[in-house]
Amino acid sequence: MSTIIALLFIVAAWLVGIAAWVTHVIFCIKTASYVFLIAGALVAPVGIIHGIGLWFGAW
Q: pLDDT value at position 19?
A: 98
Residue 59 has pLDDT above 90, yes or no: no
Question: At 15, which amino acid appears?
Answer: L
pLDDT value for 51:
97
pLDDT of 33: 94
Q: At what angle do helices 44-55 and 34-42 cross, to 10 degrees?
A: 120
Rg (CA), the chain: 13
Give the model's pLDDT for residue 25: 96
Predicted local distance difference test score (pLDDT) of residue 1: 79
Nearest to 22 by CA among 43, 51, 57: 51
Segment holding 12, helix H or strand E: helix 2-30
pLDDT digits (tens, 9 = 90+) for 2-56: 999 999 999 999 999 999 999 999 999 999 999 999 999 899 999 999 999 999 9
Q: Do the beta carbons of residue 48 and residue 17 sit within 8 Å?
A: yes
